[in-house]
Chains A and B, each alone.
Chain A
């Protein structure tokens, strides 16, 4: 992996992706989008569990 990709990942922490998402996340491309979808999925699961 090139240095550039390492640098990109250092600035992107998937754990800080907000539920609402952001243009910045979308601009990151597939890794940002994947991370955001995960957050949304986890949030849905959480809501379902809470209802239960």
Chain B
């Protein structure tokens, strides 16, 4: 047997949520053995999560816009009909093409799509091999294009199992009460017969190839778990309220049964390979098995894909694979580069994925070439064929229709072709959206909006809303939302949720919260709860934010963002240990999540664990170096603390920060102009434009810079403020750009005095005390403290206005020390004019 062989096994839709309990019960011993002797982790899917697109990404290392497989069906080359997607749609080379060129042998079994079979060095048992006619009296010849090499077809033709061969002995392990099924009204047993027989056919072909052929690479694909889940997930425990009790009792073991049988096949497969073979078992996406199961399938193309979950599985075991370790950050497009690297072959720079070096015990840096598609030579590229294969097409298409992935095709082919083209275009737009190539996505979506009825435009509008929100074009987003509301779409979108998202991004969180809380009465999904929790946080209602986020996490415990939001909330509640735990859970779910590492660092810093906090900040900074200023600043702060041997409670405020921006802030009429004057006299260069001239309220001048007033729209001028002093009132602090370091001298003055001074300045009746305004100011001051806690690049020194006037020396010493620069304190003191201390309380 050859060394360095690699066997890739695809279990469509396999999900850890179902696997772990089965492993704990001892029902998946083969997979358990692979995990114990290898690595495992989550496999991140892509959008849209349509299996032929995804499995093609797996073997090409490219996103669907590059590999060309854009859906379940395709328009025929001569544009006269539509049919299930074929190899002809793929416009880039797959792994086996590369191996063929390198003189390596590859076997493919059931890969989706692999029909028509490419003439590689090895065997191809294509995805059409297992498709048989539903009518047992009708023959199902194997197409010449379904097997390669065709002269070996006799070795495989009798390995196909037909649905009518399924017996009770095969059914009972899945459905112990199969004899109770009302087969007139429930087609569940027929579905199982088809799925099991088709997958058995493929397993038979795979085991034959494993036993009797020489190979270097082998890829085997099974759709059993996916098809069982689509048919029977509604019966998976716990029973959803709307599901029929009798059917639930009968079919509740079906899904688990499919996993157990798949593992039995794996056990046999592992018996047929040697210890030098590397095995990968993976899925393209997960499958919802909890509260997010869809019980009432909407009538849209590929609706079953709505049941797919973000994370599938990845397991690898072999001589050069680490043992019993979890790996993170794997995506479907990473599989092909990783397999190429395993074989010592270079990666195409046009591949979108990367080599996951973490899985290997020993490794070398990956090598690269421009593109495998540009290499000359024999790659067994597919030749165009004029052969028709209507029967195989018909059965495959019928299966897709039965599963609900494809609507029953219109009898008029021209209509079917048009619908297919629209769907493929939309899928491509969604791929671009997933890649954040908004311009390319928008172009296609806007073209799709020109389609006439009965085309449902709502899916295109929803994607345009997502883009408009990300590009901060809120008017457009609202316009599209309005159109969706007025459309006759069959899809039950949660438009309240969408509207709340837009309002939040527009800076109208109060309105967003009202809508979401009303929506919550009928729709308590994790997403809605999470949004409400984030808004509660924004309103500083941390206790309620905690309660709501707990509910969200209970609904969807796998959401890293929910755990991170909880960590953030707990930091505000000074519950640092719990905050650290939630941050760690978030990282466990998604390792490469910069914000989660940052939150962990903050929690650890507060717990006094400076060394580990530093590691967490380093990771956060490394993962997002260009934008993550708070992490970099936190890292600087903590490094300084460790250098200066400070305890975790100490501030590092008395250090000059390179290019620091000195801000003077507070409520209006709290003494900010006086402080600006003092800094000016003290030697700090001031950023001002003198547009507002001195007056009776401020006889010594305002020291203002006009762009400050519109900082919420544009804060780019802050660059000019480096090593200078700027005046900025407290409500505007939240618009500061966090890439800079700020030293804020915050003026505190008795609130009653402030309000009196303001009332006088604007000519209001000083005898009428504005209670509402007083409360708002108190809230604002508290908000500043909350904001300060989150900003590692911000240091605040609170200066009491009255204290400054009456006893300036200690205050001036504090300011000098805080700023870390030498100041002319005598000149600063000379600015004090007690005659201007009016409106005393």
Which of B201-209, B415-423, B689-697 faces chain A? B201-209
On whether the beta carbons of A27 and B211 are closer than 8 Å, the reply is: no
Which of the 9-residue segments B163-171, B515-523, B794-802, B816-824 touches chain A?
B163-171
- Chain B residues in 8 Å Cβ range of A33: 159, 161, 200, 204
Indicate if A45 sits at the interface (CB-CB under 8 A): no
The answer to whether A21 touches B211, judged by C-beta atoms less than 8 angstroms apart, is: no
A8-50 Cβ-contact flags toward B at 8 Å (1 or 0): 1000000000101111101111110110010000000000000
CB distance from A16 to the nearest CB of B (A): 14
Binds A, one of B264-272, B368-376, B589-597, B710-718: B264-272
From known contacts A21-B169, A21-B170, A22-B170, infer whether A30 and B205 are also in contact, taking CB-CB under 8 Å.
yes
Instruction: Find B169's partner among A22, A28, A37 (CB 8 Å cutoff).
Output: A22
- The answer to whether A27 touches B265 (Cβ under 8 A) is yes
B171 CB, nearest partner CB in chain A, Å = 9
Q: Do the beta carbons of A23 and B264 come within 8 Å of each other?
A: yes
**B204 adjacent to A23 (CB under 8 Å):** no
**B169 contacts A18, C-beta separation under 8 Å:** yes
**A-B CB contacts (within 8 Å), total count:** 65
Taking the nearest CB of chain A, how far is it from the CB of B260, in angstroms? 9
**Binary contact track B185-196/A, C-beta < 8 Å → 1, others 0:** 000000000001
Residues of chain B within 8 A of A22, CB atoms compared: 169-170
| Contact of A30 with B159 in the complex, beta carbons under 8 Å | yes
Contact B158 A29 (CB under 8 A): no
Give which listed residue, B1, B168, B173, B203, contacts A29 with CB less than 8 A. Answer: B203
Distance, CA A11 to CA B655, complexed state (A): 76
B16 at the interface (CB under 8 A from A): no
Of the four ranges (under 10, 10 to 19, 20 to 34, 35 or more), the interface on chain A belongs to 20 to 34
Complex-state Cα separation, A19 to B173, whole angstroms:
17
Are A5 and B272 touching (Cβ within 8 A)?
yes
- Asked if B161 and A30 make an inter-chain contact with CB atoms under 8 angstroms apart, the answer reads no
Of residues 133 through 169 on chain B, the ones whose CB sits less than 8 Å from some CB of chain A are 158-159, 161, 165, 167-169
Least Cβ distance of A26 to chain B in Å? Answer: 5
Interface pair B272/A27, CB less than 8 Å apart = no
Q: Chain A residues near B158 (CB, 8 Å)?
A: 34, 37
Interface residue? B438 (CB, 8 A):
no
Could you say which residues of chain A place their CB within 8 Å of the CB of B611? Answer: none
Q: Report B622-661 residues with CB < 8 Å from chain A CB.
A: none
In the bound assembly, the distance between CA atoms of A13 and B791 in angstroms comes to 72
Chain A residue with minimal CB distance to B174?
A23
Tell me the smallest distance from the CB of A35 to a CB of chain B, in Å.
Answer: 12
A residues near B207, Cβ cutoff 8 Å: 28-31
| A37 and B203 alpha carbons, distance in the complex (Å) | 16
How far apart are the CA atoms of A23 and B264 in the complex, in Å?
9
Is the contact region of chain A dominated by helix, strand, or loop, or is it mixed? Answer: helix
Check if A27 sits within 8 Å of B204, measured CB to CB. Answer: no
Q: What chain A residues lie within 8 Å of B206 (beta carbons)?
A: 29
- The interface residues of chain B lying within 8 Å CB-to-CB of A51 are none
- Interface size range on B against A: 20 to 34
What residues of B have a CB within 8 angstroms of the CB of A23 in the complex? 169-170, 173, 261, 264
Contact B267 A26 (CB under 8 A): no
Contact with A along B466-483 (1 / 0, CB 8 A): 000000000000000000
Roughly how many angstroms separate A24 CA and B76 CA in the complex, as a whole number? Answer: 41
Chain A residues within an 8 Å CB radius of B165 = 21
For the complex formed, measure the closest distance between the CB of A29 and the CB atoms of chain B, giving whole angstroms.
3
Measured in the bound complex, the distance between the Cα atoms of B267 and A31 in whole Å is: 15
Q: A23-B170, A30-B159 are in contact. Are A2 and B267 (CB under 8 A)?
A: no
**A29 touching B204, Cβ below 8 Å:** yes
Which residue among B165, B205, B271 has the maximum number of chain A CB atoms within 10 Å of its CB?
A: B271
Residue A52 at the B interface, CB < 8 A?
A: no
Separation of A36 and B626 alpha carbons in the complex (Å): 63
Q: Judge whether B170 and A27 touch: CB under 8 Å.
A: no
Q: Which residues of A contact B211 (CB under 8 A)?
A: 5, 30-31
Residues in A whose Cβ lies below 8 Å from that of B203: 26-27, 29
B274 interface residue per 8 A CB criterion: yes
Contact B167 A27 (CB under 8 A): no
CB of A24 within 8 A of CB of B272, answer no
Which of A20, A28, A31 has the most chain B CB atoms inside 10 A of its CB? Answer: A28
Give 1 or 0 for each of B243-283: 1 = CB within 8 Å of chain A CB: 00000000000000000010011011101101000000000
Report chain B residues within 8 Å CB of A2.
1, 274
Contact pick for B271, options A7, A21, A30, CB 8 Å = A7
Question: What is the CB-to-nearest-CB distance from B718 to chain A, in angstroms, rounded to a whole number?
Answer: 67
Q: How far is the CA of A5 from the CA of B273 in the complex (A)?
A: 9
Q: Is the CB–CB distance between B261 and A20 below 8 Å?
A: no
Least CB separation from B212: chain A residue? A30
Query: B204 touching A30 by the CB < 8 A rule?
Result: yes
- The chain A residue with its CB closest to the CB of B208 is A30
Say how far B218's CB is from chain A's closest CB, in angstroms. Answer: 14
Decide if B267 touches A20 in the complex (CB within 8 Å): no
Given A33-B161, A33-B200, A27 and B264 touching (CB < 8 A)? yes
Is A20 within 8 A of B268, CB to CB? no
Contact across chains for A28 and B268 when beta carbons are under 8 A apart: yes
CA of A18 to CA of B170 in the docked complex: distance in angstroms? 12
Q: How far is the CB of B531 from chain A (nearest CB, A)?
A: 46
Q: What's the minimum C-beta distance from B265 to chain A, rounded to whole angstroms?
A: 5
Q: Would you give the shortest CB distance from B168 to chain A, in whole angstroms? A: 7
Alpha-carbon separation in the docked complex, A22 to B261 (Å): 11
Nearest-Cβ distance from residue A22 to partner chain B, whole angstroms: 5
Interface centre among B1, B170, B205 (most CB of A within 10 A): B170
A4: chain B residues within 8 A (beta carbon): 271-272, 274
Please measure, in the bound complex, the distance between the C-alpha atom of A27 and the C-alpha atom of B265, giving whole angstroms.
Answer: 5
Which residue on A lies nearest to B263, using beta carbons? A27
Which residue on B lies nearest to A11, using beta carbons?
A: B271
Q: Are the C-beta atoms of A21 and B167 separated by less than 8 Å?
A: yes
B264 touches which one: A7, A24, A31, A34 (CB < 8 A)? A24
Q: Which residues of B contact A31 (CB under 8 A)?
A: 207, 211
Chain A residues with CB under 8 Å of B205's CB are: 30
Question: How far in angstroms is the closest Cβ of chain A from B228?
Answer: 13
User: Would you give the shortest CB distance from B8 to chain A, in whole angstroms?
Assistant: 17
Q: A20-B169, A22-B169, A33-B161 are in contact. List 9 more A-B contacts (CB 8 A).
A: A21-B165, A27-B261, A27-B264, A27-B267, A28-B268, A29-B203, A29-B207, A30-B204, A34-B158
Which 7 pairs, one residue from A and one from B, show the smallest C-beta to C-beta distance?
Answer: A29-B207, A27-B264, A20-B169, A30-B208, A30-B204, A20-B167, A30-B207
29 A-B pairs with CB atoms under 8 Å apart are: A2-B274, A4-B274, A5-B271, A5-B272, A7-B271, A8-B268, A8-B271, A8-B272, A18-B169, A20-B167, A20-B168, A21-B167, A22-B169, A23-B169, A23-B170, A26-B196, A26-B200, A26-B203, A27-B203, A27-B261, A27-B264, A29-B203, A29-B204, A29-B207, A29-B208, A30-B159, A30-B205, A30-B208, A34-B158
Q: Which residues does A use to contact B, with CB under 8 Å?
A: 2, 4-5, 7-8, 18, 20-24, 26-31, 33-34, 37
